[in-house]
Chains A and B, each alone.
Chain A
Amino acid sequence: MNPQESVTITPLNYSVHSALLVLEDGNIYVGQPYGAQGATTGEIVFSTAMTGYQETLTDPSYDRQIVVQTFPHIGNTGVNDEDVESSKIWVAGYVVRDPATQISNWRAQRSLDDDLYKYGIVGIADIDTRKLVRHLRSAGVMRAGIFSGDALLDNDGRLKRVEDLLDIVKNSPFMSGANLSQEVSTDSGYIVEPQGEFEGKEPLYTVVSVDLGVKAMSPYRMAERGCRVHVLPASSTYDDIKALNPDGVFFSNGPGDPSTADFEVEQLRKVLDAKIPFFGICFGNQLLGRALGFGTYKLKFGHRGVNQPVQDLTTGKVEITAHNHGFAVDAPKGEPVPSPFGNGHYGRVQVSHIDLNDDVVEGLQCLDIPAFSVQYHPEAAAGPHDAAYLFDRFINQMEQSKQLRG
């Protein structure tokens, strides 16, 4: 029971100066335009992170998603060129309560508004974001659209009816079944050379990172551990990977439904067959799950934030982690099981990490081949650095494998 005695703005009370957020289930929010004006549609999801809006916006995993920020004040520290996770803003739309009118940070180079305009990101501000998030939490994520400016007018310059806007939302694509890797991936390969204390030195390891929507911090975390990272497009075949003679292969995070990524899974199986050390993050974890023969499924409203408690089941320790996933791997927790694919073809597999909030599988560890993955973001941009040890684990795996090979 929620007596909503104070709702005074009816869904019909809007003008050409308003922005409308239209959910596919017919819920409508009237607010102020933010960023670019126009129309946009996508899957509406919420992030509970209180910091890191710049990283969120430039994370390719948010491709085709409208992101709601639960933290009310967004844009306070402006935007800089250091904290971007890719070359552009990926979100399909942006929903905030109270955008900053003054930026303040010694590293700020411009305002967030500037970048939203520049990349044509349609947003909406000044709505009851908590009400929206509570709704998404109970109804689940869904399609939505943001409309402002001319997008609110029909050809005759009259205000469009909400029914018309709702139709646009209902005709937009679903996230389930979407194959987006190619859409977000780099067109051509590039190399990230060793960084930090290893800068300018001969690389210790060579890693091939398959870009399924990779965040800049992932190759950087490997590079600062002495790796040379070849970032390849999502369309790369096993032969392309093998040609670089890597010590390890990394599958990145990325958007879309993992059940559509048959091509990538096929390449991954060849990597596993070749016993090349493998590490996957997020989408990469889902693909390892599928390569091993597990299913994947869509979560009701996903995990998006930087405060999720994940337990490493091998040590019992809890790490606070950054998450951005709407899908998860369906694998049995507890004792190791033979990989379902090929009836134990890849030996035993163990669920290595779980989310303590809802017991969702957050990591897989192969016991008989050098492969592991996590559903969350140890590269942590934005987010806490508690899980950075996983990059060390990958390095160790490559080192062991190197020694075995002699």
Chain B
Amino acid sequence: MPKRSDITSVMVIGSGPIVIGQAAEFDYSGTQACRVLREEGVRVILVNSNPATIMTDPEMADATYIEPLSVPILERIIAKERPDALLPTLGGQTALNAAIALGNAGVLEKYNVELIGASLEAIDRGEDRELFKKVVEEAGGDSARSFIAHSMEEVEHIVNDELGYPVVVRPSFTMGGLGSGIARNVEDLHRIAGAGLHYSPTNEVLIEEGLEGWKEYELELMRDRKDNVVVVCPIENVDPVGVHTGDSITVAPVFTLTDREYQKLRDIGIAIIRGVGVDTGGCNIQFAINPRNGRIVVIEMNPRVSRSSALASKATGYPIAKIAAKLALGYTLDEIHNDITETTPASFEPTIDYVVTKIPRFAFEKFPGADETLTTSMKSVGEAMALAGNFQESLGKAMRSIDKRHAGFNWDGPIPSTDEVASLLETIKIPTEHRYLQLMRAIWGGATAEQIFDATKIDPWFIDQLMQINATALEIRAAEALSPQLLRKAKKAGLSDVQISHLRGLGDQGEDVIRELRKNYGIRPVYKTVDTCAAEFDAITPYYYSTYADETELKKRDREAVIILGSGPNRIGQGIEFDYTCVHAVQELGKTYDTIMVNCNPETVSTDYDISDRLYFEPLTFEDVLEIYQAELKLGPVKGVIVQLGGQTPLSLAARLKAAGVPILGTTPESIDLAENRELFGEILEEKGLNAPRYGTALSYDEALKAAQSIGYPVLVRPSYVLGGRGMEIVLEDSQLKEYVGRALKEAQADRVVSGRLPSPLLIDKFLSDAIEVDVDALYDGKELYIGGIMEHIEEAGVHSGDAACVLPPNTLSDSQIKRLRDATLAIAEGVGVQGLINVQFAFMSNTLYVIEANPRASRTVPFASKATGTALAKAAARIMAGETIAESRRLGLLLPEGDGGDIRPGQPVAVKEAVLPFKRFRTEAGRTVDVILGPEMRSTGEVMGFDRDFPHAFAKSQIAAYETGLPTGGSCFISVNDTDKRQLPLMAARLIELGFNLYATEGTASVLRRYGIDVQVVDKLTRASSDSDDMKVVEGHGSIGKNVVDLIEEGAIDLILNTPSSRTSRSDGYSIRAAAIAADLPQFTTATEFLAALMAIEAVKSNDYEIASIQEHAQRLHELDARE
């Protein structure tokens, strides 16, 4: 059945900003889909609010809209473009929800747009609990058993006679799952069900069979319109049910099921995809299996591509999204070729002859106070995947891919005591990110497999594998000398050279010794191909993984190669933006060189096997990268390695790689050090006559105190060499400083703290109050400077640049200020010796220019600046690193032919970048959301771009794109501002009233407004009951309406919040307000500057006269503006 001829244009919806649970994998799937659709000659209309994506590059679609995914805007795009069909299954839940909303609003019908991939009915059957339960039943599957109870007697009867422990208690008709929980014993049951019966307005609770501790599996399926179904890949969760699959260590394929059991899952899965009615495309189904008797319970299904399908695609080489897009156009599986073999069809099931392990990466350090327990709600921010010849090797590779200190197993120090083992066996009952390290320590200390199983319910086969790793490690530790056999065994057990070195008592430095020994013994990794078929057929696609075995499958190259190091697992501060820049380098350099991509993040476009000439799915460590370089050197010439584009991870390898003889392209490791080393950088600034905030360094509290007092509070304190501002804090007073240093000492324990002194210095900077912060991205080729973009932060300095909203072109900077920024950037680029990209953060305080920091690498803002100015900065950077000039990139059209991104052109559209924050995900142990005040620590997971003719419209779009609710156009606004902001208060309040808002304020704020003749309703104030407690008490306000703002928020009486914190106490007072607002999804602003922007935007929202233009149209206009000048 060939392609449908009635579809000539398709609208694709992307997944919007990166959030926890919905990350870069949808750029991967969306990019694949767009490429396929265009290859098929279909006109592609793409909508996505996230500029840091490859899919929103102008060449990926015919018309690309970086616009909010809201119904009114989508409708206007549909009205303009009139697509034949809408493909919503490749943009995650966001795209699916947008499609449902368009359907419900009648837009699809009105414009005669066909939903392809999955119908509204199918989406409903997949997502509605009751409908899905029916589908499962008809498919011959089981759902978790559940009963309704109205009294404690009934509850007890259900648990005692029907279900047994554990059970999940869900009160009926409560908001946001209030009162639900897992009961593991009778005390839990009385407490939770008792409260549940009380909370439920109908005194009703649902008691559901608890599947905690069951084995968990996933299947990725594809179906075509002739009803052919294939299972692409089964995935087994090493962590049993109870930990979200996104937070679990998962492996592919299945390891602990017989064929009969696996086929049963397959049969049920196929019956479900048919029953739900996914017409064409992929779906993901999750199963739980009782390890005692094999009972199978279907947990859920997603009628779309997912994070797991991206993982399955990378794990097997079967490109689910690409094939889903073809199926949506009407092809059938047998008509599509398997790219990897080119001779066999896609209507088969991949079989693999290696082991795939995925490990999540967490960011709890960013959210102090957040409960670190892993639950059924996903908390990880990224993941790494590894492929290897066996489970142990693949686990070891995956763990070191996580790229976090102390993320791998270690056997340093004395053997854990019996007491420690006993306490570890308790600790590991609660799953956290540290569980596997704790578990290995317990094994080292003598815990038995049974004890580990009893505590964790991890399948005994996996526990046995961990015990084998431990045994091998101890064998290495105890051996008199490292024999070739033992060293080979260690590598097959997944131990890195560093780990082996530590086991031999040689510490970090011994890595080189182990490597030399390996080389002498001839123990080197070989590279095998990912081929979907376990070597049954010849593979065309150069997609490789390393393993310790005999035969390598690498082929000779004719062209010179450039190796590009990716950014590894997504984390806060190093996310999709860096994958974007790497992919650009691959695309551009691929014209001249063989591009070799190295990365370990399965969510990304860069690890799509048909992006680069060669893909190594490998950890980004010194050992692994050096092996790849040396293997490639034997296959053809290698020009060098690019470390500038993948963020801090590859950058930190630069110096060692160079020392090992690897040529580094672009900015040299010495220059990188000039920018990153505070003192050296300070000397450059001094030489160039540039100001930096006063700073000092300290290794102890006393030193810190001295430095802070000589600089003067407020100060910004942080550890040296950081990314995304980890561990940064604005410190206002001595006591806070003491607290900070204490915490740093505690965290540094593993790094050998000697007598209260830190192993690496703290940096203490003058904090610039009320300053305007500016980010500049620039290219430098040694002669010419090209400003990529000047981005003015909307919040004042102090909010991390990754969390701040910013605007390009800058809103308020004068020509002379821009010139100073330009001159300073040039001076720094020159002084450091940049060849390629540089990002500099500046601040204007009282019109004095300060240099905050410089990063001689791609920054998070490169994609945003590129899209806002219609250029390809990363592609140009790649060319410069390969030795070309800026002039050449101008000629090739990668950069503007005249001037640069720092010029402000009359009529130029305005782009606003807004950060998206994950606060809803993180709760304290007491179940409250963590605090949401923005500060110097970056906590956003993603970003959106609002693009329009002027700032208010662009800002309004950015708010709609970042928060589902967008900005309200009326209703009630609560205001509580600190003393500094009180001068701006009256104008803001007056404007709010003009816009039609009712105002609520706390007494202090109300009093100021009253003096300006503005009447507001006074609410009670919430404050901490005591300084060492988080409990709040209510302080009645004068003339108060008798309610506090949290009450009002919970009643739904508030639509907008301005709440600017000042001192530490009022920060904690404001916490309960912010937490309530987060829970209620209310737009809230914690800085006055951003609130002012919001006020202007509300007007734009009211007039609803957004400009709807594709970025191709924007770019055209920018070029015409050029021409006119």
Interface residues of A (CB under 8 A from B): 1-9, 46, 48-52, 54-55, 70-73, 76-77, 80, 82-83, 97-98, 100-107, 127-131, 133-134, 137, 305-309, 311, 316-318, 320, 356-358, 380-385
Contact = CB atoms under 8 A, between A and B. Distances in A.
A3 B636 CA distance: 12
Given A129-B353, A134-B535, A308-B348, A52 B391 contact: no
A48 B459 contact: no
A98 B355 CA distance: 11
Contacts of A307: 348-351, 533
- The secondary-structure label for the interface of chain B is loop
Contacts of B463: 102
B355 A5 contact: no
B405 interface: no
A356 B556 CA distance: 31
A221 to B, nearest CB: 13
19 contacts: A6-B525, A46-B536, A48-B534, A48-B535, A48-B536, A49-B259, A51-B262, A71-B351, A98-B389, A102-B460, A105-B261, A107-B258, A128-B549, A130-B551, A133-B535, A134-B535, A137-B538, A357-B344, A381-B259
Interface in B424-443: none
Contact of B524 (A5, A82, A128, A306): A5
Given A98-B390, A308-B348, 17 more contacts: A2-B553, A3-B552, A8-B484, A48-B353, A52-B259, A71-B353, A71-B534, A77-B257, A83-B259, A102-B464, A104-B461, A106-B294, A307-B533, A309-B345, A311-B347, A317-B227, A380-B263
Nearest 7 pairs of A and B residues by beta carbon: A52-B259, A102-B464, A382-B259, A131-B551, A70-B534, A51-B259, A104-B461
Contacts of B260: 82-83, 381-382
Contacts of A76: 255-256, 461
Most chain A beta carbons < 10 A, residue from B263, B332, B525, B533: B263
A1 B558 CA distance: 13
Nearest to A108: B258
B559 interface: no
Contact of B555 (A1, A71, A127, A131): A1
Contact of B536 (A305, A318, A384): A305
Given A48-B536, A357-B344, A384 B266 contact: yes
B616 to A, nearest CB: 16
Contact of A356 (B262, B334, B351, B537): B334
A108 B508 CA distance: 44
A133 B353 contact: yes
B292 interface: yes
Contacts of B259: 49, 51-52, 54-55, 83, 306, 381-383
Contacts of A7: 550-551
B334 A318 contact: yes
Given A76-B255, A104-B459, A320 B449 contact: no
B524 A73 contact: no
B226 interface: yes
- The secondary-structure label for the interface of chain A is loop
Given A71-B534, A72-B390, A106-B294, A357 B345 contact: yes
Contacts of A320: 230-231, 347-349
B928 to A, nearest CB: 40
Nearest to B293: A106
B263 A6 contact: no
B526 interface: yes
B1114 interface: no
A326 B550 CA distance: 28
A287 B1009 CA distance: 97
A83 B262 CA distance: 13
Contacts of A104: 256, 459-461, 464
B254 interface: yes
A131 B351 contact: no
Contacts of B257: 51, 77, 105
Interface of B: 1, 226-228, 230-231, 253-263, 266-267, 291-294, 332-334, 343-345, 347-355, 389-391, 449, 459-461, 463-464, 468, 484, 521-526, 528, 533-538, 549-556, 634-635
Contacts of A100: 461, 464
Contacts, number: 199
Given A102-B464, A106-B291, A6 B524 contact: yes
Contacts of A316: 1, 226
A50 B533 CA distance: 11
A380 B259 CA distance: 10
A317 B230 CA distance: 12
A8 B522 contact: yes
Contacts of B528: 130
A178 B523 CA distance: 43
A251 to B, nearest CB: 24
A383 B263 contact: yes
Contacts of A106: 291-294
A196 to B, nearest CB: 14
A369 to B, nearest CB: 30
A106 B348 CA distance: 30
B551 A356 contact: no
A55 B261 CA distance: 13
A105 B525 CA distance: 33
A72 B355 contact: yes
Contact of A4 (B230, B334, B551): B551
Contacts of A98: 389-391
Contacts of A357: 343-345, 348, 537
Contacts of B460: 102, 104
Nearest to B270: A386
A3 B634 contact: yes
B548 to A, nearest CB: 8
A305 B351 contact: yes
B592 to A, nearest CB: 24
B345 A356 contact: yes
B701 to A, nearest CB: 51
A282 B334 CA distance: 23
A48 B533 contact: yes
A306 B350 CA distance: 10
B351 A318 contact: no
A130 B549 contact: yes
Contacts of B484: 8
Contact of B554 (A3, A103, A137, A358): A3
B345 A51 contact: no
Contacts of B344: 309, 356-358
Given A107-B258, A131-B550, A311-B334, A385 B263 contact: yes
B978 to A, nearest CB: 60
A134 B533 CA distance: 11
Contacts of A311: 334, 347
Contacts of A127: 550
A170 B699 CA distance: 74
A46 B292 CA distance: 33
A276 B292 CA distance: 47
B294 A72 contact: no
Nearest to B548: A6
Contacts of A381: 259-260
Contacts of B258: 51-52, 54, 77, 80, 83, 105, 107
